Amino acid sequence: MIPTFAVVGHPNKGKSSIVATLAEDERIGISPDPGTTRSAHRYTMSIDGEPQYVLVDTPGFQRAKAVLEWLEARAASAQERPALVARFVEQHRQDPRFHDEVALLEPIVDGAGILYVVDGTKPYGAEYELEMQVLQWTGRPRMALVNLIGDGDYVEAWRQALGQYFSIVRVFDAVRADFGKRLALLQAFAELDEHWRGPIDRAVAALKAERPRRRSRSAAQIAECVVACLTRTEQASLSDVDAASSERRRELEAQLLERLRDYVRAQERQVRDRVQALYRHQALARQEAAAELLAGDIFTSEGWELFGLSRTQLVVSGAVSGALAAGGLDLLAGGASLGLFSSVGALIGGAGAWFGGDRLARIEVLGQNLGGRLLRVGPVRAPNFPWVLLGRAWVHHSLVAERNHARREAISLAVADATNLMDSIPDDVRKDLARAFRSLGEGDAGADTVPRLTALIERVLALEAAPAQGDR
Amino acid sequence: MLLARAVDVRRWLRDDRATPSSQRLQRDRTIGRELAASRPQERVLAWWSALAAAGHREADAPSTGDRVEAGRRLAVALLVALGVVFGAGVAGVALAYDGRHPVNLFTLLGILVGVPAVMLILTLLLLPGRMPGLGAVQGLAAGLNLGRWLGAWLDRWLGVDVFAPHGAAALVAGPFSRWQVVVFSQGLALGFFAGVLATTLLLVTFTDLAFGWTSTLDVDAGRVERWVSALAAPWAPWLPAAVPDAALVEASRYFRLEEDSAAVDVARLGAWWPFVVMVIAVYGALPRLLLLLLGCWRLRRATVRLLLDDPEVTALLDRLRSPLVGLDGSADEEAVEAPRAALPPPRDLPAGEGLVLLIWNSAVDAATAEGWLAGHLGVRPAAQATVDTVHSEAEQRARLAAAVSALRGGPRRVLVMTKGWEPPLLEFNDFLGLIREVLGGGCSITVVPMSLGGGVAANDRAVWAGALARVRDPHLYVQDADA
C-alpha cells in the first residue's frame, strides 16, 4: 500500500501550509480565515508515474467533542476502537454536522498515517486533547508537528502535552522550512511504519536528485537569455533625408534603443517565468509587480550598481581583456617588446571600461545593398550589462529556489544585503564568465557558447546570493 | 541528414516552449523510458521518431531541415562548379603561350599555387576562433572568405539561423559555422584545382606548351635546380619523369631581350609539364583535399554538437533521462462561502445590570476578565461562569443555569470571552445555541475574542466577526478592539 499521510488538526494551524510545502504546490488555499479547506485533497508524490506517498490535506476538527462523545457512548475495547471510528465515518457520511470530521477521518480509516498539526506559537489548550483522543481511537501510527505560525513560544508546553498521545513530536516551521528541513521531515514520516521506509527513501532520493537538475535547467535558461540579450541588434532603414537630419537620426536612434531595451526586458521576464515554473512557483510571477528591485527596470542606475560589477571590478576586467587582446602582439614579437603591447592594451581596456561603462549599445549606420542606409543599434556593449543580467537572474533564482510554497507574499530584496554581490563569485569563474561575455559581445559565439556559459552560470547559482538572505 | 534533423529538432523544440513544462516533462520522460539507445545523439533522433509515431508532431516532408540540407548540397555543388570554371579560366590565362616566350614557371606556379596557398593560410586563420592581436587579419580573412558569405546568405534565404548564427557580424561563430565555412571554401578550391588541372592537361595534350624560367635577380640554374628538386621530392621516388633534371633547368632559362632562342631545344621545354601538374596537384589540390576531408569529419562532429549543444536539446536529454518526479494534487478548492458581512460591534454597551460574563475554554482567568470589563467597559458582571469545550453538554447547561439563577430579572446581556487566537469552531456555535436555549432569545450576546495580551486583537476580531456572521443571530455582536 502506498504510504498515505493525513494532515489533520485544529483549523488554521497550518495544515495546508505543511501540505503546500511538502507537495510544492502553491495553489493550495492558505488563508487566515478558518474553514478555507472544506474537503480532503490528495497530493501524490510519484516517480515516473509510480506513486511513492500521498499527502492528504484535510479540513480541521470542528466538533471533536461531539465525535468523542459518540465514540465513548459506544465504548468498546481498545481493540474495537478503530472499527468504531470507521463506523462513525460510515454513519455520518451524509451528516452536515460532521462534514469536516468525516472528511478528515476517512483517509485515516482507510489506512493513512496521522500528521497532527498544532501551532507552537500559541498556548496549549485542554480542548486539543479531545482531538488527540479521537485520533488515538483510530489506532493509526501518528506524528505530531509543532508548526510555528506566529511569534510566541509555547513549544515546550506543546511537547509535553503531545508526548502523551504521539510517539514522534517534531517542530516544523512550514513557511520558513528550507529544502533540507523538508526532506528531513519526509524521512521522519518513514518512522511511523517500517513498511513505508522504502517508498519514502526513494522519494527523498528522487527529490534530492531533482534539486541540482532544476538548478542546471535554470542555468541553461539564464545562459540563453544572456546570449540573446548580448547579441541582439535592432535596425531600421534610414532614408537619405533621414540620414542628413541629425534630429531625425537621433529620434530613430532613441526608438531603436528603446526597442532593444524592451527586448531585454521581455527576455528577462520570460526567463523568470521559466525559472519559477521549474521550481513550481508560477503564481509568484503575478505578484512580481510588488517586488522591489527585481521587478524594477533593469536599466536603472541603482540596479546596475547593485547587481553588476563595481567600477573597480569593471576596470580590472577591462584591463585584463585589453592585455589579453594585445598580448598576441607581444608573442609575435617573441618577447622583444617586453610586454609593451600588453601594457598598452591593459591601459586602453581599463580606460575603455572606465569611460565607456555608461554607454549602452553600439550605434552604426550601414550601407544597404539596394541603396539607402541602415541604422543599427546594438548589440549592447556596456561592459557591465551581462553582469547586471546575471546578477539579477542569480538573486531571483536564489529567492525562488529556496522559497517555500507556503509563502504567499511577493519576493523582495533587502537592499543593504545586496552589496558586493559579485564578490562572492570565485575568481576563476568570474574570469571565465568575462571571457564568455567578451566572446559573445564580439560576435564570436557558437553553438557551444550556451553550454559553456550554462556550466559557469550553474556554478554561480550553486553559490548563495547574498541578497537572497534578505527574503528569508 | 543529420543537419536536417538538427535543424528540425531545434526548431520544433523552440516552438514547443509554449507547451506547459509539466506536459513536456511527462511526454518526454514517457518516451525516454522506452528508448533503448544510450548515446545522446541516437536518443534525440529516436525521440524525434517516437514523437511522430505518438502523434505529437506531424512528420511533414520536406521539412525546413530537409530544405537546409538540400540548400547546403546545392551550395556545395555550385561552389565546386564555380571553382571549376574559375580554375579553368585562370589556368587558361596563366598558361597562355603565344610562341614568343615560354610560360614563366615562376609566374605560373605563383598564380596557380602561390595565391591559393595564401588564401589557404587565411582560411586556416579562421579556424582557431578569435586570436588576441590578430583580429584585423582574421577580419580580413573572414571578409575574403566566400564560404562565410555564402553561409550568411543561405541563412537568409532559408530563414534559419544555422550557418551564421548571431548575424553577419559574427566572425566565425562556433565550430559548426567554422567547419562549414571550411567545407564550402575547400569545395570551391578543389573545384578550382580541378579546373586548373583539367585545363593544363588539355593544353598539354592539344597544344604545344613551352615552360621556362627567368628572373631579374642573380639566380643561377643550380639554385633553381635545387628548388625544383626540393619541390619534387615527394614524388621523385615513384615519378622521376616529373622531376626536371639540371640540364632541363639550365636549358629553360630565358631572357626576353635574347631573341635567339632557337639555340635552345624547344621541344625539351615542354618536358616541364609533369612537374607543373604535380606541383599543382601536390601543393595546390592535395592540401585542399586533406582540409576538405578534415573539414567534413569535423563538420559531422560539429553537426552533432550543433544538435546536442542546443540548450533546448540539452534540456530534452535531461527530460528523457531524469525520473519524472510528480507532485500532483487537486488543489483547487471549491468556493468557500461568499464573503459574509462581518458582525458589527454591539450598539449598546452592556450595563452591569443583568450582565452575564461567560469565559469560554479558559480564555482568561476571572480576575483578568473582570479587570478588562472594568477598564474597557466600566462595568462589573452581575453573574459569571467558566464553560469549556471539554465539559459535557449537560455540564455546560448546568453551569449556565447556575450562573443566571441568582439574577433578578433574568439575564439581559451576555458577554462571552473566548480565545481570539483560536479560530471560531462550530463547537462554539453550538455553545452559542446552548446559551440561547438556556438564557432565552431576548438577550444580546457579545463575543469578545481576547488576545494573549489581554485585549481584543483587531485581526482576530475580524476573523471572529466574519465567522459568527454565519450564525445569523440578530442579537449577536463581536466586541471591537478599541472599545
DSSP states of A24-85: T-TTS---SSTT---S-EEEEEEETTEEEEEEEE-PPPS-HHHHHHHHHHT---GGGHHHHH
Angle at which helix A81-91 crosses helix A99-109, to 10 degrees, equals 130
Angle at which helix B2-15 crosses helix B311-321, to 10 degrees, equals 80
Shortest distance between the Cα of A418 and any Cα of chain B, in A, equals 30
Mean confidence (pLDDT) of chain B: 83
Provide the 3-class DSSP secondary structure of residue A438: helix
Region of poorest pLDDT, from A44-53, A146-155, B132-141: B132-141
Residue closest to A29 by CA, chosen among A212, A225, A283: A283
pTM: 0.73
ipTM: 0.72
| The pLDDT value given to residue A33 | 65
Region of poorest pLDDT, from B94-98, B336-340, B434-438: B336-340
Q: Give, in order, the Cα–Cα distances in Å from A102 to each of A40, A93, A109, A157.
A: 10, 6, 10, 29
Distance CA A191, CA A200 (A): 10
Cell, residue B335: 468556493
* % of chain B exceeding 90 in pLDDT: 23
Distance CA A353, CA B379 (A): 77
Q: What are phi and psi of B465, to 5 degrees?
A: -60, -40
Cα nearest neighbour of B420 on chain A: A122
Distance CA A300, CA A109 (A): 59
Residue closest to A124 by CA, chosen among A151, A146, A91: A146
Shortest distance between the Cα of A318 and any Cα of chain B, in A, equals 14
Instruction: Please write the tens of the pLDDT for every residue from A85-119.
Output: 999 999 999 999 999 999 999 999 999 999 999 99
Give B154-159's long-range contacts (Cβ < 8 A, gap of 24+): B154/B68, B154/B71, B154/B72, B154/B75, B157/B71, B158/B64, B158/B67, B158/B68, B158/B71, B159/B64
Instruction: Please write the tens of the pLDDT for every residue from A133-177.
Output: 999 999 999 999 999 988 888 999 999 999 999 989 999 888 888
The answer to whether the Cβ–Cβ distance between A152 and B452 falls below 8 Å is: yes
The answer to whether the Cβ–Cβ distance between B329 and A44 falls below 8 Å is: yes
Higher pLDDT, A308 or B12: B12
Q: How many CA atoms lie within 13 A of B53 on its CB side?
A: 8
Interface A-B: count of C-beta contacts within 8 A: 210
H or E element in which residue B357 lies = strand B355-360
Residue A47 near residue A204, CB atoms below 8 Å: no
Instruction: Please write the tens of the pLDDT for every residue from A301-325.
Output: 555 555 556 666 666 766 776 676 6
Judge whether residue A418 has pLDDT over 60: no
Residues in A touching B336 (Cβ below 8 Å): 29, 33, 35-36, 38
Cα nearest neighbour of B132 on chain A: A325
Instruction: Please write the tens of the pLDDT for every residue from B39-60.
Output: 899 999 999 999 988 888 877 6
Distance CA A159, CA A418 (A): 39
Provide the 3-class DSSP secondary structure of residue A373: strand
Give the mean model confidence (pLDDT) for residues B75-90. 93
- Best B390, B395, B432 residue to mutate vs chain A (most A CBs within 10 Å): B390
Categorize the per-residue pLDDT at A327 as very low, low, confident or very high, splitting at 50, 70 and 90: low
Region of poorest pLDDT, from A123-137, B168-182, B456-470: B168-182
Bond preceding residue A379 cis, omega within 30 of 0:
yes
Provide the 3-class DSSP secondary structure of residue A419: coil
Cα nearest neighbour of A227 on chain B: B166
Locus of grid cell 530584496? A413
Helices (H) and strands (E) in chain A, counts: 16, 9
Region of poorest pLDDT, from A171-185, A413-427, B112-126, B299-313: A413-427
Residues in CB range of B380: below 8 A, 6 or more apart: B352, B355, B370, B373, B374
The answer to whether the Cβ–Cβ distance between A122 and B452 falls below 8 Å is: yes
Strand B355-360 and strand B325-329: pairing?
A: unpaired
Q: Give, in order, the Cα–Cα distances in Å from A200 to each of A45, A128, B50, B182.
A: 10, 29, 33, 56
Question: What one-letter code names the amino acid at B255?
Answer: F
Judge whether residue B363 has pLDDT over 80: yes
| The pLDDT value given to residue A291 | 41
Question: What one-letter code names the amino acid at B259?
Answer: E
| The pLDDT value given to residue A107 | 95
DSSP H helices, B95-164, are 105-109, 115-126, 135-144, 146-158
The answer to whether the Cβ–Cβ distance between A209 and B165 falls below 8 Å is: no
Torsion of CA B99, B104, B105, B107, to 10 degrees: -140
| The pLDDT value given to residue A197 | 92
Distance CA B135, CA B128 (A): 12
Q: What are phi and psi of A364, to 5 degrees?
A: -135, 150
Judge whether residue B289 has pLDDT over 70: yes
Shortest distance between the Cα of A329 and any Cα of chain B, in A, equals 5
Question: What one-letter code names the amino acid at B381?
Answer: P
- Terminal Cα-to-Cα distance of chain A (whole angstroms): 38
Cα nearest neighbour of A63 on chain B: B427
Burial bucket for residue A369 (CB in 10 Å: 0-12, 13-18, 19+): exposed
Highest mean pLDDT (candidates A86-95, A183-192, A232-241, B120-129)? A86-95
DSSP states of A317-334: HHHHHHHHHHHHHHHHTT
Locus of grid cell 519526509? A186
Residues in CB range of A85: below 8 A, 6 or more apart: A71, A105, A108, A109, A134, A137, A138, A139
| The pLDDT value given to residue A288 | 42
